[in-house]
A and B are shown apart, each in its own frame.
Chain A
């Protein structure tokens, strides 16, 4: 199957900083999603982004399918942004998740 790798695995930032999380996949995918799991365990869908760029408030995502990567940008980080960010692609009837990036925002 297609491998999905995320980087960095861990990221610690001061509140107000910007960050870029990366998702690389080993082959072409046509359905990519980003999720945030907050410290209380809740899983929230951030973006469905098979290609191009989308923005939602302080968050934006870009997928370059031909180059097999996707980026998640978080600007002006807040403590509520802490948690684990997963990218995932949908294929063979199910999602395959990346390894995740654990983001910690320090006040």
Chain B
């Protein structure tokens, strides 16, 4: 039981490049979330999903897109990366209790 995993762990992008962050969970949870955390700050919700095929906007959705084609996977896409998207990204899944992935550190130059 791996819990919540994230790929990649660290990535450097140039402004304007695109990338996809992958989150996978093996707990059969319905709800999944993407957060970002900037230095010294709390978590801010980007997008979330309440089940396969559903997505919804969170607090800071601009510049990001998501897809939940399979229940166990939740993808976060950056179509055209900007330096303001430099952050640590956390994925989580929830079915009563919330579990977080280890995070992806993204640096946009």
Interface residues of A (CB under 8 A from B): 31, 33, 35, 41-45, 48, 86, 88, 90, 93-95, 97, 99-100
Contact = CB atoms under 8 A, between A and B. Distances in A.
Contacts of B99: 45
A4 B77 CA distance: 30
Contacts of A41: 37, 88, 103
Given A93-B50, A94-B45, A94-B58, A48 B90 contact: no
Given A93-B56, A94-B58, A100-B42, A42 B102 contact: yes
Given A41-B88, A93-B56, A97-B42, A33 B50 contact: no
A49 to B, nearest CB: 10
Given A41-B88, A43-B90, A95 B42 contact: no
Given A41-B88, A42-B103, A95-B94, 9 more contacts: A33-B97, A42-B102, A43-B92, A48-B96, A90-B94, A93-B48, A93-B50, A97-B43, A100-B42
Nearest to B45: A94
Nearest to B59: A94
14 contacts: A35-B98, A41-B37, A41-B88, A41-B103, A42-B103, A43-B100, A45-B97, A48-B96, A48-B97, A90-B94, A93-B31, A93-B50, A94-B33, A95-B98
Contacts, number: 43
Which secondary structure dominates chain B's binding surface? Answer: strand
A94 B48 contact: yes
A47 B61 CA distance: 29
A99 B48 contact: no
Interface string B32-68: 0100010000110100101000001010000000000
